[in-house]
Amino acid sequence: MPDAFAAIFALTIPIVAIVGGITAGIVRTLARQRIIELAQRERIAAIERGLDPSKLPPFPSLGEGEDLLGGPLAFEYAQKRRSQGLLIAGLIMVAIGWSLMALLTILEPGENKWAVGLVPMSVGFALLLSGWLVRPRNKNGSGGSPAALQ
């Protein structure tokens, strides 16, 4: 009986993680939509009272460099963020590949099982390359450091 309980418990972990992730995404989207709606209502009420729209404060930031209207600064920040995320993921995958290769070489020195580490390492190099390719460039063509987020 304890083995059956452990098997059921092991199956519930990924199910709970997936459902929790989807639920968190839905709640975050609904919360952002509510913030946008309230900011727009407040803006409309201020304009109806006769305030000049240019004197109204800007829309609130939603965090992580995003603004409600998706201006150019938000776009640049999102590109820097995407590039940095790809570079970090690439470094992690390369490290996992090297670790697998080292582990399998130590455990089975005469075998070619170390080649299993080539798969995550190849994915890591592909992520590093894509992170380098999508990083934002300055107007003169030279790329800035993706780690220098504003």
Residue 150 three-state SS: coil
Res. 136 pLDDT band, cuts 50 70 90: confident
Q: Which one has a higher pLDDT value, 148 or 27? A: 27
- The CA-to-CA distance between both ends of the chain, in Å, stands at 55
* Per-residue pLDDT tens digits for 13-70: 888 889 998 999 899 889 888 988 888 898 898 889 988 877 877 776 665 555 555 5
Measured CA to CA, the distance from residue 86 to residue 123 in angstroms comes to 11
Rounded to whole angstroms, the Cα distance separating 37 from 109 reads: 62
